[in-house]
């Protein structure tokens, strides 16, 4: 981990002063946004008003992210309409929310979905319902609506002043390193097909379907960086790719990511399509917000936003849940509660939470994350090399790069665009990263981001008409070594009492759409069995 001062240095010298460098145009207007910290921090401060009214419901779902919306989706499919979804933020969607400009929609977080494999039954079912997957959802190679297949070129990487197509640089790389790159990809392809001694795929998605072969679960004890070294991968570009992948999906450097999780990133997905290459992703200008909307449609007006759950009490016949709605507290009495919010919040609101479950919920940590949306009047000046792509990655840079919201609309010849910039604060401790998100002003982040992008697009400051920064202090649970199979995660995943069920990607140990959907549906199925049994 770097020191706080070293981290701030990567934001840029001008950023530390919070002003534009001499001779530069001033920082474009914009806002400093993020999760509702003021409302969330009220849980720590307490002093809530007594309940002013009581409402009864069959199932209460706490959390309107992908897991909570998926639980609602499953309940609605089963013709259960006596439920409500409570979401603390001003809108549902969690990490899949989006913004909208007069020109185009754009993501605030998750922005793509890889082609789902046959294991990802629920994802395929949803895509078929939305009309994106066409034909048989169980087919080996389904056909997908071309409007959602990422337009080519899909990705490129910037290194040494040039763009290279794909994610691994090829220019200026010697033959020995290129051979290692090839061997790494071949090894990942082998692992995609490999099975454990129990006959299950080594790395499946959802992760709960993966092999339980102890030999392979032992990879959870070491870091992904160590696995690379142990297996003879020493090439800088291979290590960079592994580190980039872990920063991108887990918000954590590969030296602190479980080797099992690192390999899962590369080997879990083997989806194919009849009308696209296997490495194609599904996306839209607004990122994954279209998926969240598709799930939320089933819930309709049962989603209540701006709702802060501050107390849970489980009784013999129901669960009492006190919720701050505006200035008053409403008590919900539900026959079943599905907790679809991050695990670390539950101990704060459930005083009688079992001790072993409380320890499991508090055992993990979360990666802080920064996103910025730059609204551009026109496409910026390009450096040499591969042409503009949807995902534009930086090789030696604190940020991960950016996605272009209008790339999917390339045939429309729009005059401007929106670039969504991503940065995981992996280079400081999570607690320090969260403090930096709170304390660092928008001017500092904005100047640092523009300075970083100007190395690639010299005129981007001149073209940027607005720059909004979004902060997420608890973006995703970190799959550190030992956390997946030798820690507390499985206690949460297997937890069950008569009236409270957990549902969140935290139960998988890392935050992916497929995992959140699976955990939400699994929780709903447990609740449905209780409905049948009563």
Which CATH architecture describes the domain 4-30+365-477?
A: Alpha-Beta Complex (3.90)
The owner of tokens 């090399």 is: 385
Q: Are 291 and 114 in contact (CB under 8 A)?
A: no
Q: Mind spelling out the 3-state secondary structure of 152-220?
A: CCCEEEEECCEEEECCCCCCCCCHHHHHHHHHHHHHHHHHHHCECCCCCECCCCCHHHCCCCHHHHHHH
Tell me which DSSP letter residue 46 carries.
-
What CATH code would you report for 39-95+287-364+480-533? 3.50.50.60
Check whether 159 has a pLDDT greater than 50: yes
Q: Mind spelling out the 3-state secondary structure of 304-316?
A: EECEEEEEEEECC
Average pLDDT over residues 475-486: 95
Which CATH architecture describes the domain 113-149+155-279?
A: Orthogonal Bundle (1.10)
Using pLDDT thresholds of 50, 70 and 90, give the confidence band for residue 470.
Answer: very high
Could you state, in order of their start, the residue ranges of all structural domains in the chain?
A: 4-30+365-477, 39-95+287-364+480-533, 113-149+155-279
Check whether 7 has a pLDDT greater than 60: no
Average pLDDT over residues 314-333: 95
Using pLDDT thresholds of 50, 70 and 90, give the confidence band for residue 13.
Answer: very low
- pLDDT of 411 reads 64
How confident is the model over 64-119, as pLDDT tens digits?
999 999 999 999 999 999 999 999 999 999 999 999 999 999 999 999 999 999 99
- pLDDT of 6 reads 55
Q: Which of 16-30, 135-149, 279-293, 344-358 has the lowest mean pLDDT?
A: 16-30
Region of residue 174 (left: phi > 0; alpha: psi -120 to 50; beta: else): beta
Q: Are 2 and 427 in contact (CB under 8 A)?
A: yes
Average pLDDT over residues 113-131: 97
- Report the alpha-carbon distance of residue 489 to residue 357 in Å, rounded: 10
Check whether 18 has a pLDDT greater than 70: no
**39-95+287-364+480-533 matches 4-30+365-477 in CATH topology:** no
Q: Assess whether the previous peptide bond of 157 is cis (omega < 30° from 0).
A: no
How confident is the model over 376-426, as pLDDT tens digits?
999 999 999 999 999 999 998 999 999 999 999 876 677 899 999 999 999
Question: Quick one: angle between helices 121-129 and 289-296, nearest 10?
Answer: 80
- pLDDT of 530 reads 84
How confident is the model over 162-217, as pLDDT tens digits?
999 999 999 999 999 999 999 999 999 999 999 999 999 999 999 999 999 999 99
Check whether 477 has a pLDDT greater than 50: yes
Count Cα neighbours of 449 within 13 Å in the Cβ-side half-sphere: 30
- Report the alpha-carbon distance of residue 474 to residue 478 in Å, rounded: 10
Containing H/E element for 77?
helix 66-77
Q: Enumerate the β-bridge partners of residue 107.
A: 98
Using pLDDT thresholds of 50, 70 and 90, give the confidence band for residue 8.
Answer: low
How confident is the model over 341-385, as pLDDT tens digits?
999 999 999 999 999 999 999 999 999 999 999 999 999 999 999
- pLDDT of 14 reads 43
How confident is the model over 232-275, as pLDDT tens digits?
999 999 999 999 999 999 999 999 999 999 999 999 999 999 99
Pairing mode, strands 51-62 and 328-339: parallel
């Amino acid at each position: 981990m770097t020191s706080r001062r070293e981290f701030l240095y990567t934001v840029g010298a001008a950023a530390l002063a919070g002003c534009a460098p001499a001779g530069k145009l001033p920082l474009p207007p914009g806002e400093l946004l993020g999760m509702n910290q003021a409302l969330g921090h009220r849980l720590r401060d307490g002093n809530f008003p007594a309940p002013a009214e009581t409402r009864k419901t069959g199932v209460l779902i706490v959390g309107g992210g992908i897991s909570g919306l998926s639980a609602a989706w499953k309940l609605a499919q089963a013709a259960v309409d006596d439920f409500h979804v409570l979401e603390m933020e001003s809108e549902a969607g969690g990490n899949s929310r989006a913004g909208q400009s007069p020109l185009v929609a754009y993501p605030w977080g998750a922005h793509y979905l890889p082609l789902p494999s046959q294991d990802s039954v629920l994802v395929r079912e949803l895509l078929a319902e939305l009309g994106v997957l066409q034909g048989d959802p169980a087919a080996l190679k389904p056909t997908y609506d071309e409007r959602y297949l990422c337009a080519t070129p899909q990705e490129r990487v910037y290194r040494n002043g040039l763009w290279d197509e794909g994610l691994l640089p090829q220019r200026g790389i010697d033959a020995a390193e290129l051979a290692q790159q090839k061997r790494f990809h071949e090894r990942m392809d082998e692992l995609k097909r490999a099975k454990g001694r129990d006959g299950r795929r080594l790395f499946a998605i959802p992760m709960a379907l993966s092999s339980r072969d102890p030999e392979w679960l032992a990879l959870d004890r070491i870091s992904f960086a160590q696995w690379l070294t142990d297996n003879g991968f020493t090439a800088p570009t291979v290590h960079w790719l592994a580190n980039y992948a872990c920063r991108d999906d887990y918000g954590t450097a590969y030296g602190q990511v479980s080797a099992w999780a690192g390999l899962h990133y590369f080997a879990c997905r083997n989806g194919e399509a009849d009308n696209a290459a296997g490495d194609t992703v599904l996306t839209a200008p607004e990122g994954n917000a279209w998926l969240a909307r598709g799930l939320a449609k089933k819930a309709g007006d049962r989603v209540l936003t701006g709702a802060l759950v501050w107390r849970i009490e489980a009784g013999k016949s129901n669960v009492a849940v006190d919720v701050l709605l505006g200035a008053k507290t409403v008590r919900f009495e539900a026959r079943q509660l599905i907790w679809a919010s991050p695990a670390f919040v539950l101990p704060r609101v459930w005083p009688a939470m079992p001790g072993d479950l409380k320890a499991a919920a508090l055992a993990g940590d979360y990666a802080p994350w920064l996103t910025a949306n730059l609204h551009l009047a026109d496409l910026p000046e390009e450096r040499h090399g591969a042409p503009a792509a949807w995902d534009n990655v930086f090789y030696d840079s604190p940020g991960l790069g950016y996605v272009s919201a209008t790339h999917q609309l390339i045939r429309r010849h729009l005059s401007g665009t929106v670039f969504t910039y991503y940065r995981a604060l992996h280079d400081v401790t999570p607690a320090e990263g969260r403090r930096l998100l709170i304390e660092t002003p928008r001017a500092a982040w904005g100047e640092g981001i523009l300075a970083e992008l100007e190395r690639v697009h010299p005129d981007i400051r001149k073209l940027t008409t607005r720059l909004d920064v979004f902060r997420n202090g608890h973006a995703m649970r970190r799959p550190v070594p030992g956390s997946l199979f030798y820690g507390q995660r499985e206690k949460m995943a297997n937890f069950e009492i008569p009236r409270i069920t957990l549902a969140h990607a935290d139960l998988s140990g890392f935050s992916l759409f497929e995992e959140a959907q699976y955990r939400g549906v699994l929780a709903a199925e447990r609740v449905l069995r209780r409905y049948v049994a009563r």
